[in-house]
Amino acid sequence: MSVASLFVTAGAAYLVVQQLNYAGLALRAQKTSSDIASVLIVWERLDQHWVRFRSAKTDEAKRFEFGQLISYYEMACSLFRDKVFTTRATRTLHEHLHEILPVMRADATFKELFDDLRTDESTFENIVWFCKQPAPSAGDQRHTAPNQCEVF
């Protein structure tokens, strides 16, 4: 093999590696964008359901709206459980879930609503799973501190 062909081969290999690096960066950016879009939709729906829940006038309407609200929390937890959300773009939603779910469960009114909706052991299984996961430490997506979220 000549020296020239060795240089051509090395140059081509370098270009292939560079293209693979660019493709990897593009895929990571696409994943982050996808997570951001999904999180924004979840936030919007949670906000809408909170407004509807707080506006409900009757006990029956409150139970219904709470069921709608908590189903979105269940779905959000399932997205983390199924590893759909994997980028740092989901950090704020992750922190919100770890903050709000224990507070809701500790509140007597919410606890009663949770209990009314629970039909068997698998009800809220994604929330239960999520709450057993370590809470994120401040300013870091890696999980180091145990979570104190005892939901059920």
**Size of the chain, expressed as the number of residues it contains:** 152
Domain range annotation of the chain: 36-145
pLDDT grade for 144, boundaries at 50, 70 and 90: very low
Q: 53 CB contacts (<8 Å, ≥6 apart)? A: 62, 65, 66, 68, 69
Report the alpha-carbon distance of residue 117 to residue 53 in Å, rounded. Answer: 15
pLDDT grade for 47, boundaries at 50, 70 and 90: very high
Q: Which residue has the higher pLDDT, 3 or 54?
A: 54
pLDDT grade for 19, boundaries at 50, 70 and 90: confident
- For the chain, the first-to-last Cα distance in angstroms comes to 70
